[in-house]
Amino acid sequence: MLKFASIFRVAVLAHTSLWVMSAELFAQGDPVGSVPLFSIKKYIQRLEVEEFRLRAELADLPKIDDSLQLDAYGYHSGYLPVLDELPEEPRWTVELKTTLEHSFNEFFLIPAADRRFDDMPGYGFPRRFRITAVAQDGSREVIADWRERDYPDPGRYPVRFAGTGGSLDTILLEVYRGTVEGGREFFALDEALIRTDFFVMKTLAIRSSASFESPPFWSADYLIDQKTSCGLPVGAAVGGEPLSDYIMRYRKQPAEQVLLLDLGRKVHVSMISLYPARPPEGIIVPGYGFPGSVRLQMFRDRPNDPQEIERVVEESALPNPGNNVVRISGNSRFVRWVQLTFSDFPVHEGMYTFALGEVALQGVELLQCRVASWDGQGQVDALVDRTANGLLVLPMNQWVNGLIRRNMLERRLNDIARLMVESVEHRRRILKTAWIVIGALIASLVIAALIYQHILRRVGALRLKQRITRDLHDEVGSNLGGMALMASALERTAASGEMKEELGELALMARDACASLREVVWLIDRSGVRLPDLLVKLRERTERVLDGMELTFEMPDDCPDVEIPLTLKRHLLMYFKEALHNCARHAQATKVDVSVQVAPAGFRLQMRDNGCGFDVSSVVDGWGLDSMRKRAQEMGGKMDLETAPGQGTVLVLTIPWKILLNKTDHPYKTSNRPGRFGCRKKDEA
């Protein structure tokens, strides 16, 4: 019987299944899959805190902006056939010449932009390459070697490689595998930059093995012009209200505009950077108001003194810078005064326009300066407020490193966004699984409760049935037995023959009823009836009903232990009951032999008495022979009767073996050797 402990085991099993299924979801090999269900909320909160921190840092970093370049896209290699195997020798080589006596710290490669698409993704970055630094003494050191595997696609963001820290004469870029497009192989770069301790060095010359020369768009020289497709080297917006870009308009071509800057003391000036302005109307105009010519003069102590001139640079016919900075080398001169003379101003909307976002002087860092004199008009301090287009001006090296940092943060933010989505989905899957398991658990408990209630009802019904059978056996059975004994005793003492016959009939009816009651009790106590047990019950009925006669009951020594169909059992008991009843009432026999045989042909039950016999043709309905024949036919067998007046009676019932078992393939084992069971006369008992 199913106990409450079994129900508890079902509940524990279902509970365990929940955690097993959850563990299977955790074991996905990714960070989210290893987070337990009850920690997912805290995990998402940690991701949100990290996201907030990264976005706050990202707001202060420079970002890639369309440079509005009209020319100088960068370097594009020549096209070569695609190779299946990586060659031992480089397919393209690029040499960058410079003069650096010490502190070669970093080397940057800025990817070219694919201008065929609106979002301008990265274009043609080399996949397998090696970068070698050649010092001024001729020694070589490999600073990057990506020949064994493809370099990850950087998109539009700059790529940084650590320098040697020493002197530098040449950077050698060897490309072994480029980008494949249209069945051809090539590579492209926007800019190559060499950084020392404090600033980006100007590369003096470039030599390449195979360059796709198509000025003014692609050329080897554009790899070292310090113009990029990433926009102005500026950072975040300046707090407060920064000065706007310097913009002046004239109805006629103005004279040269001279700007004199005072550094306050003599310092080394390595670079002068001119930032283009942003149109005030908001219309995109590349290089708005940028002068076509500029002359640089640098003075040691006294400005405008020819004897104090340290450096003079004439820059005429300047190209439109687009959204890029124009740099003029200061050659690290030790000066205090820097004078810039601007001329050749462009026309916008019918007016000559002079516009600049910033004039930045750089030594080891951005230098502080003031406007000592200015020939023009307007708020000239906007030229030295360290802002351009409302954004903070950055040195080139700081700007490039800021872009690299932004790339790292944006990748991490993309990972955080993915992890948060996966965490929510992970929690949803676990909860869905949990609800399924909980539903299965509830269903299991309900089914277990229903089974338990069903078992309780069956147990109660069985106990009630057992109590009723005990009551029948103890009360009714004992009363019937007592009636049979009393009727038998009265029969022996009866004076008249008619009374003696009636009392004998009463005793017979009492014994028959007692035998029937015992059989009913026996059947109630059993779920099935097997052949040996049934034969024993036939023998017991014979002894009770034919009490006082000499009895023998023969049955096989090794009777097959098979279950008898309930319908056949009922007919067989009723048939045998009728046979015994007829023998007891009408045969006037003193001896009865009953034998049972089980052979391959079937089951055979024979009953023989030494009674008076009878004429079959004169049999009346009360003897029940027709009923017995019908029962034999219903059992699938037949009944044979042999009798004659004064010669006793032989009654034979034969049932085929297959019908007896109601199965065609059931094995059986039998012996026809009869045996005697202790059937005795009543006076011998």
Cα radius of gyration (the chain): 58
Q: Looking at the domain assignment, is residue 173 inside a domain?
A: yes
* 260 bridge partner residues: 339, 373
Q: Are 580 and 650 in contact (CB under 8 A)?
A: no
CATH classification of the domain holding 369: 2.60.120.260
Domain end, chosen from 343, 374, 393, is at: 393
Do 302 and 260 lie in one domain? The reply is yes
pLDDT in tens, 71-99: 889 999 999 999 999 999 999 999 999 98
Q: Looking at the domain assignment, is residue 362 inside a domain?
A: yes
Pick from 661, 681, 603, 609: nearest CA to 637? 603
Q: What's the rounded Cα separation, in Å, for the pair 179 and 73?
A: 17
Dihedral-angle region of residue 218 (phi above 0 means left; psi in -120 to 50 means alpha; beta otherwise): beta
Do 209 and 273 lie in one domain? The reply is no
Q: Looking at the domain assignment, is residue 471 inside a domain?
A: no
Helix (H, G, I), strand (E, B) or coil at 503: helix
Q: Is the dihedral of CA 512, 518, 519, 520 positive or negative?
A: positive
Domain count, the chain: 3
Do 80 and 165 lie in one domain? The reply is yes
Q: Which amino acid is at 641?
A: L
Q: Looking at the domain assignment, is residue 424 inside a domain?
A: no
Q: Looking at the domain assignment, is residue 654 inside a domain?
A: yes
Domain end, chosen from 191, 223, 255, is at: 223
Q: Looking at the domain assignment, is residue 160 inside a domain?
A: yes
List the domain range (segments joined by +) for residue 562. 528-661
Q: What's the rounded Cα separation, in Å, for the pair 79 and 84?
A: 16
pLDDT in tens, 389-420: 888 888 888 888 999 999 999 999 999 999 99
Inter-CA distances, 347 with 274, 278, 290, Å: 19, 15, 10
- Give DSSP secondary structure letters for 341-395: EEE---EETTEEEEEESEEEEESSSBPP-EEEEESS-S-GGGGGSSEETTEEE--
Q: What's the rounded Cα separation, in Å, for the pair 540 and 554?
A: 13
Do 207 and 271 lie in one domain? The reply is no
Do 181 and 253 lie in one domain? The reply is no
Q: What's the rounded Cα separation, in Å, for the pair 86 and 129?
A: 11
Domain end, chosen from 393, 411, 433, is at: 393
Q: What's the rounded Cα separation, in Å, for the pair 545 and 537?
A: 12
**Whole-number pLDDT of residue 1:** 38
Q: Which amino acid is at 287?
A: G
Do 105 and 195 lie in one domain? The reply is yes
- Give DSSP secondary structure letters for 182-243: TTEEE-EESEEEEE-SSSEEPP-EEEESSB--BTTTB-GGGGGS---TT--SEEEEPSS-PP
Q: Which residues contact 463 (CB under 8 A, 6 or more apart)?
A: none
Q: Looking at the domain assignment, is residue 400 inside a domain?
A: no
**Whole-number pLDDT of residue 328:** 87
Do 152 and 121 lie in one domain? The reply is yes
Q: What's the rounded Cα separation, in Å, for the pair 206 and 195?
A: 17
Residue stretches of the chain with pLDDT short of 50: 1-29, 663-685
Q: What's the rounded Cα separation, in Å, for the pair 21 and 15?
A: 10
* 315 bridge partner residues: 294
Do 215 and 247 lie in one domain? The reply is no
Do 296 and 151 lie in one domain? The reply is no
**Whole-number pLDDT of residue 254:** 87
Q: Looking at the domain assignment, is residue 40 inside a domain?
A: no
Q: What's the rounded Cα separation, in Å, for the pair 326 and 396?
A: 12
**Whole-number pLDDT of residue 500:** 66
Do 169 and 238 lie in one domain? The reply is no
**Whole-number pLDDT of residue 287:** 85
CATH classification of the domain holding 605: 3.30.565.10
Do 168 and 261 lie in one domain? The reply is no
Do 621 and 532 lie in one domain? The reply is yes
